[in-house]
Structure 1
Amino acid sequence: MPERIFHIATAADWRTTLATGTYTTSTVGRSLAEEGFIHASRRDQVQGVFDRYYRGLGEDLVLLTIDPARLESEVRVDPVGSDTYPHVYGPINRTAVVDVVPLNRRGGTETLMSLWIKGMAVRMGLAVLAMVLVAAIVLGIQRWS
């Protein structure tokens, strides 16, 4: 069994986990109760899973790193097509998640610093736009006075 397994989650589902202590989303739009297990992957499978199921979803996504030794539920490595994937047969307890990293729109991981810088750039751009609009309005009012 792999040392660590991975699961792509929506940020909203992860926030629910922080409140409840357990994660129960199997995959996009499917719960553990509906699917019977939670889909996971090895690290080398994450990009393919993102490309097939999460690209273009339009929601903020995070990559969960899960330590199987900390899981309270069973993990099985099941054949899927010509490959195998780890599946968690039960809820994922919050304490088994050892890292949570935001994913960008291409499925790559983001650092908190890069997210902060991007957020600041957007805020600064909006502030400059607001200043330009105010200046245009003021100049327009002065012209007509």
Structure 2
Amino acid sequence: MTTIYCLTPASYWATFAGKSEYVPRDYKEEGFIHATKGDNLLYKVANRVYHNFDEELLLLVIDEALVTSEIKYEQAKDKNLYPHIYGPLNVDAIVEVKTMHHTKEGWTLNFSSRI
């Protein structure tokens, strides 16, 4: 299994309960779903994008092979390649939902799983 990650506020994720597809808040503006791959990039993105976020943050663990929308690996301004999902994310590709934990040093992964 090839795993990619997507971060989302828990309150926003809750609005998709029982639905078959997920799209983030900025999907219409961006045209794709931002994702990341690998622990190093995960923490880098979490600490950059959600630096001042003080609500519950979730990590969607996604099996890339199960995603029905097109995934393109594209280089970002930081020169890293990131997976971008061009279309809604089918929730059956999400194999686990984990809680992130915010500390003084930044975001870390809480190893307990929601599903």
TM-score (norm 2): 0.85
2:56 equivalent to 1:60: yes
2:16 equivalent to 1:21: no
Per the TM alignment, residue 11 of structure 1 is displaced from its structure 2 partner at its CA by 0.6
Per the TM alignment, residue 19 of structure 1 is displaced from its structure 2 partner at its CA by 2.9
Distance 2:71 2:49 in 1: 22
Gapped regions of structure 1 (runs ≥ 5): 114-145
Counterpart AA for 1:50: A
Q: How does 1:98-137 map to 2 (within 5 A)?
A: 98-105=95-102, 106-112=106-112
Per the TM alignment, residue 39 of structure 1 is displaced from its structure 2 partner at its CA by 0.4
Shift >6 Å, 4+ stretches? none
SS, match of residue 47 in structure 1:
helix
Per the TM alignment, residue 111 of structure 1 is displaced from its structure 2 partner at its CA by 3.5
Per the TM alignment, residue 31 of structure 1 is displaced from its structure 2 partner at its CA by 2.2
RMSD of equivalent CA atoms: 1.8
Per the TM alignment, residue 95 of structure 1 is displaced from its structure 2 partner at its CA by 0.3
Distance 1:37 1:112 in 2: 28
CA contact (8 A) 1:18 1:94 kept: no
Distance 1:87 1:110 in 2: 24
CA contact (8 A) 1:8 1:61 kept: yes
Counterpart residue number, 2:33: 38
Per the TM alignment, residue 112 of structure 1 is displaced from its structure 2 partner at its CA by 3.7
SS, match of residue 107 in structure 1:
strand
Q: Percent identity?
A: 32
Larger RCO of the pair (alpha carbons < 8 Å, separation 6+) = 2
